[in-house]
Chain A
Amino acid sequence: MHLIRGPRLVIFVRRTQDAAMSEQPLHILIIDENRIRASIIEDGLSGPGDVRVTVLPDTTQLLRRIVEIDPDVIFIDLENPNRDVLEHMFEVSRAVKRPIAMFVEHSDQASIEAAIEAGVSAYVVDGLKKERVRSILETAMIRFKAFERLKRELEDAKTQLADRKVIEKAKAILIKTRGLSEPDAYALLRKTAMNQNRRMAEIADSLVLAAGLLGGEEGK
């Protein structure tokens, strides 16, 4: 039985939401100076042809290499000092979303809860058998996608609420300053947004801002 000792961490990187849906094979990068361990993970991942695995044992110029390889998923040892190099990559490319799976040797309920709370998508106790690598990867991806969808829905809901508020404000300004009816004020905002190819909330925002600058009470 192959067991990987010690706490381990896996970082998955997805380029975009679209990539997750695409037919392209998943490109997985394993960063590990320990070739034996890397090959266990590699064996565990290779299966029917929907994944491609690259192993990077040499970590000099890591950032440049990752950009060249452009993986969807990165596996890296928790003890590898180059984890900070990966952080830099996340920093420069904020669009990168990443489910995280953590492999630990022993744990308690509090740790598991804390891990889930912190956004770790899969928390696996008792080391890592090669037979399980693939299912863990899949679990993490599924949970991550579900979590991302929830978050996006929440964000969308928040944005919609904020949008509605600012549109109401802009309408009030138009009604007062130009004597328009409410439907006409709304129609004017919509027409302007369409002509300028911008969101209605953006147009409303500019209007409220401008009214504020011009000293009208409405902008406040």
Chain B
Amino acid sequence: MINPRCEVRAGFIPLVDCAPLVAACELGFAEAEGVKLTLSRETSWATVRDKLAVSHFDAAHILAPMPVAANLGLGPLPTPMVVPMALGTGANSIAVSTALWRSLSRHMQSNDFDATAAIDALANVVENRADRLPQLQLGIVHPHSAHHYELAYWLASRGIMPGRDVDLIVVPPSLMPAALASGHIDGFCAGEPWGTVAANDGAGVILTTNAHIWRNSPEKVLGVRAAWAEQNPDCVEALVRAVYRAAEWCDQSENQDELARLLTQDCYVAQSIELIRPCLARRLKAGDGTLHPIEGFLSFASNAATFPWTSQALWFYSQMVRWGQALPGEAAELVARKTYRPDIYRSALKPLGIAIPSANAKVEGTLQGPTPVGSTSGHLRLGPDTFFDNKVFDPDRLSAYIAGFSGRES
């Protein structure tokens, strides 16, 4: 690259789903778009956001709800952000300690990560937990994370209220396996490879995955500082094209070995190939110690996994309201909706001639299987998007959806 048109500094957290940024940087996808991409490995989501805020970064691999939270003014240093694309779906799991697993397995017939069987068993254990025992402690990575909202959604479906019946506490992902092994937490929900690390160490057992709670659910996004995006619209589009190409590459099974080798490096995920490969192969270790393939566990690009659905930003907002983090209101709803920018996505990817969804939002939870949908060109199929409890989220009926939850009973 002789004369890059754009210089982009981006932060990431060492997790498997940072792969598209890593591939864009290492394999020439960024260069091909005239983008000089510099990546910086960070250790906390707070630092990623703060470095965006003080313009040390222009863009970042960030938890999908964080830009929504930032634009709503939640949390420290809430910096206006736009989300021109998503960084894939899935790759999260819920792991529990071996002790909790023993109690749970007494109430479970099967052992196939089924979210309904798992929550029924957990409800049974929580109800019958002796008074003298402290409440179960479950680790989440950040209050504004898909992990938090999906875990709480799953728990509350059987009346297990966070705060009242179990404690949700924040633990950095890399410290989850150790916290589980030492008994500080009884379970956690985190991105790969941390579920696999806990399962391989013998610290815990993978109980279910976020893909079983909400199929093809959003996870990380490309968060871009709004001021930078405004000043550099061409760079944002070039970056989106580069990362999209990289995500397509990451999704191809013949590239799994090379991708695993890339991620294993110290400057990226810094975990062994054995811990990264299973996730890339869409397999997880089950309670019986064998690796099970999981359909739809992880998608980097297929099924429109990079499309920033405004309905998903609104689902996160609905959960922020449900758990008392944000206030309900039309103005806030609009802020959440406008955080995700399918218009930038379309404009950036138009030259590639790929199939892009025609709609900005969808009714979440209605697609039972792969479904052809309206798109700009060619054929586009979306993956299933059902919630494990078969509830449906219509973004146009947000208040009714929120009112449908029994609310916070702590």
Interface residues of A (CB under 8 A from B): 7, 9, 11, 60-61, 63, 78-88, 90-91, 98, 100, 102, 104, 110-111, 114-115, 118-120, 123
Contact = CB atoms under 8 A, between A and B. Distances in A.
B143 interface: yes
Contacts of B182: 60
A108 B42 CA distance: 21
Interface string B175-193: 1000100101000000000
Contact of B46 (A87, A102, A118, A120): A87
B53 A118 contact: yes
Contacts of B227: 114
B175 A81 contact: yes
Contacts of B79: 118
**Binding site secondary structure of chain B:** loop
Which has the most chain A C-beta neighbours within 10 Å: B42, B43, B47, B76? B76
Contacts of A88: 142-143, 169-170
A83 B47 contact: yes
Given A63-B170, A91-B143, A86 B77 contact: no
B170 A114 contact: no
B77 A110 contact: no
A83 B53 contact: no
Contacts of B170: 63, 84-85, 87-88
A111 B52 CA distance: 10
A81 B75 contact: no
A98 B77 CA distance: 10
Contact of A119 (B51, B77, B184): B77
Given A100-B77, A110-B55, A118-B54, A87 B43 contact: no
Given A11-B76, A63-B169, A102-B54, A83 B44 contact: yes
B143 A78 contact: no
Contact of A111 (B44, B55, B169): B55
A124 to B, nearest CB: 12
Nearest to B142: A84
B159 interface: no
Nearest to B43: A81
Interface in B158-178: 169-172, 174-175
Contacts, number: 86
B319 to A, nearest CB: 14
A63 B143 CA distance: 14
Contacts of B141: 84
B47 A78 contact: yes
B184 A86 contact: no
B268 to A, nearest CB: 16
A11 B56 CA distance: 18
Contact of B76 (A60, A61, A87, A123): A87
A91 B141 CA distance: 13
B394 interface: no
A158 to B, nearest CB: 14
B325 A84 contact: no
Given A81-B174, A111-B56, A90 B44 contact: no
Given A78-B47, A114-B54, A100 B76 contact: yes
A27 B182 CA distance: 30
Given A81-B43, A84-B142, A91 B54 contact: no
B50 A81 contact: no
Contact of A87 (B51, B56, B143): B143
Interface string B67-98: 00000000111010000000000000000000
Question: Which 9 pairs across A and B sit closest by C-beta, in order of nearness?
Answer: A81-B172, A88-B170, A114-B55, A118-B53, A83-B44, A115-B54, A83-B46, A81-B43, A91-B143
A128 B44 CA distance: 22
22 contacts: A7-B56, A11-B76, A60-B179, A60-B184, A81-B43, A81-B44, A81-B175, A82-B172, A84-B45, A84-B46, A85-B172, A86-B46, A87-B143, A87-B170, A91-B143, A100-B76, A102-B50, A110-B55, A118-B54, A118-B77, A120-B53, A120-B77
A5 B285 CA distance: 41
B14 to A, nearest CB: 10
A61 B46 contact: no
Q: Which one of B44, B54, B169, B179 has the highest number of Cβ atoms from chain A below 10 Å of its Cβ?
A: B54
Nearest to A92: B143
B253 to A, nearest CB: 32
A119 B79 CA distance: 9
Nearest to A115: B54
B44 A82 contact: yes
B54 A90 contact: no
Contacts of A79: 42-43, 47
Nearest to B145: A84
A78 B54 CA distance: 13
Contacts of A123: 54
